[in-house]
Amino acid sequence: MTDTSDPTEAPALIRADIAAGRLAEGEARARRVLNVFPGHYPVLLALGEILERTGRSDEAVPVYDAAIATHPGSGRAFTRRAVILLRRQWGSPPAPHRSAGPRVMCSSLGANGRFANQLLQYAMTRLYAEDHGLTAEIPDWIGRDLFGRDDPLPGAPLPELSENDADISGALSGRVPRDLAGRDLWGYFQKDSRDFAGHRDRFRRLFTPRPPLAALTGAWMVKLDLQGRSLVALHLRRGDFVKSRAWIAPEEWYLAWLAALWPRLVNPLLYVATDDPATVAAFKDYAPVTAAVLGPALPGVEFYCDFHILTQATHLAISNSSFSFVAAMLNERAVAFARPDQQVRGLVAFDPWAAPVTLPQDPRVTEGEMMARQLLDAVPNHVPALMELAAILEATGREDEAVGVYDRAIAANPGAALPVERRAALLAKRSYS
């Protein structure tokens, strides 16, 4: 048996052990590698699978936790951890029914993205199958536990069809003629929600909580005690967005939206959904409620309380995230939806059934700008960061914004000459242009 701690060779060797049924050898090899490379994501996944296959699911949970810590966006580790913990609490979900007739599948569901990505992938596959008389084959995933989905497991492999090569979403809406029968669909299916809009009622029914979850969601709503109140909900995603340097809207945008909205409401209640409790302090003037007051988190899907409350709000401000966008799609109560927009530098109204699921980063926004803004979120009067940001704004043609940032630098350090000089030079340049 060849042994190695080489991080590039180890995953293939361990996978070969699994495929050949050499689970003890695969486990030993994985543990040797992890002794040297404790955060090796593919090896952590393989070890988790071996532990599950050998009846040690409880031991697999901390392994998947380690994989998630290494790669917060991990779909497979997220899914396997969730199903283990949910089934520990609720038992097995409904058994998959038998596949029959022509098929379509999404074999990557559960591995390609986390919760909201999986909902979109499931809806795309299932709704297309229903429309065209096909059987949708779906891997094991948390939708079986949360929503009672009992689709057949994937049978014999089908040729993959990627959304990068074909307009799969357009095939669902009928924008393009495309036969997806006999294909294994791959993608995120979040370019534009218009492709789901003609199926909105069926889309929502797919994700109706099964009884044990419905009991919990009902208890959460009772605790909120919304009688005669307007529920305003915000989603502030940080967590993996910080690590991946995805663009993050500052709290100030949400505060400005609240300041304009709040006086128009009767007895409003603010709920803040976030993976970073430190963000809640910015909203203290609104006496916000969080999931922490509604009871213990549901093991495996600790986020689900936040997700459910977002679906129940009458006024909802999301982040640039599929998590809260899909919650908005499922929300039948809201009278107003808002989302962050980098070009406007604030929240703008949107229709969750007629918009891109996530907005691309403004091409003018560089990594340097993102880092400067993140530092200023934490230290608003950090003069070097203000000067760096102002220079970037000037260089990218956003001179009005640059003037405002120079003003902030001057206010933060009135004795500094450089901000005054650069502001004056910018104004002079603009007056002659």
The model's pLDDT over 349-375, given as tens digits with 9 standing for 90+, comes to 999 999 999 987 666 566 677 778 777
Query: Token pair of 289, please?
Result: 């409620």
pLDDT tens digit sequence for 118-157: 999 999 999 999 999 999 999 999 999 999 999 999 999 9
Instruction: Provide the pLDDT confidence category of residue 6 given band limits of 50, 70 and 90.
Output: low
Token pair, residue 195, equals 């492709």
pLDDT mean over 51-61: 97
Per-residue pLDDT for 318 more than 50?
yes
Query: Quick check: 241 pLDDT over 60?
Result: no
Lowest model confidence (mean pLDDT) among 15-24, 301-310, 366-375: 366-375
Answer for the pair 222, 386: CB distance below 8 angstroms, yes or no: no
Copy the structure tokens of residue 91.
């038992």
pLDDT band at 419 (very low <50, low <70, confident <90, very high): confident
Find the radius of gyration of the CA atoms of the chain: 25
Model confidence pLDDT, tens digit, residues 249-263: 889 999 999 999 999
Does residue 242 surpass a pLDDT of 80? Answer: no
pLDDT at res. 430: 66
Q: Give the per-residue pLDDT at 392.
A: 86
pLDDT of residue 25 exceeding 60: yes
In order, the DSSP letters of 279-342 are: GGGGGGGG--B-GGGG-S--TT-TTHHHHHHHHH-SEEE--SSHHHHHHHHH-SS-SEEEEEET
Q: How far apart are CA 22 and CA 45, in angstroms?
A: 16
Token output for 331: 């929300």
Long-range residue pairs from 316-320, CB within 8 A, at least 24 positions apart, any chain: 316/232, 316/233, 316/235, 317/232, 317/233, 317/234, 317/235, 317/254, 317/257, 317/347, 318/235, 319/235, 319/236, 319/237, 319/241, 319/248, 319/249, 320/237, 320/246, 320/247, 320/248, 320/249, 320/358, 320/359
Cβ–Cβ under 8 Å, residues 175 and 158: no
What is the per-residue pLDDT for 243? 47
pLDDT attached to residue 125:
98
**Kindly report the CA angle at 341 between 336 and 346, in degrees rounded to 5?**
75
The pLDDT value recorded for residue 131 is 97
Rounded to 10 deg, the angle between the 41-53 and 10-19 helix axes is 20
Query: How far apart are the C-alpha atoms of 121 and 138, rounded to whole Å?
Result: 10
At 293, which amino acid appears? Answer: V
What pLDDT score was predicted for residue 359? Answer: 86
Helices (H), 54-134: 57-70, 75-90, 115-131
Single pTM value for the model: 0.82
Res. 244: pLDDT tops 50: no
In angstroms, the first-to-last Cα distance of the chain is 73
pLDDT of residue 366: 66
Mean pLDDT confidence for 4-15 = 79
What does the pLDDT average to over 277-303? 94
How high is the pLDDT of residue 202? 98
- pLDDT bin (cut points 50, 70, 90) of residue 397 is confident
User: In the structure encoding, which two tokens stand for residue 108, read together?
Assistant: 């990557």
Q: CA–CA distance from 373 to each of 160, 277, 379, 423 (Å)?
A: 41, 20, 10, 19
The rounded mean pLDDT for the chain is 91
Instruction: Give the span between the Cα atoms of 147 and 211, in whole angstroms.
Output: 9
298-320 residues labelled b (16+ CB within 10 A) or e (exposed) = bebbebbbbbbbbbbbbbbbbbb
Q: What is the dihedral of CA 359, 108, 69, 372, to 10 degrees?
A: -20
What CA–CA distance (Å, rounded) separates 320 from 323? 9
Cα angle, residue 237 at apex, residues 406 and 219 outer, rounded to 5°:
140
* pLDDT > 90? residue 1: no
| Domains (range + CATH), the chain | 10-71 (1.25.40.10), 103-206 (no CATH), 211-349 (3.40.50.11350), 367-431 (1.25.40.10)
Residue 344 has pLDDT above 90, yes or no: no
Residues 340, 345: Cα–Cα separation, whole Å: 7
Please report the sign of the dihedral spanned by the C-alpha atoms of residue 359, residue 363, residue 365, residue 368: positive
**86, 323, 326 from 292: Cα distances, Å:** 20, 19, 22
Q: 54: closest CA among 17, 4, 82, 107?
A: 17
The alpha-helical segments, DSSP class H, found in 20-56 are 23-36, 41-53
Place of tokens 């914004």: 401
What's the average model confidence in pLDDT over 25-32? 95
| Separation between Cα atoms, residue 344 and residue 362, nearest integer Å | 10
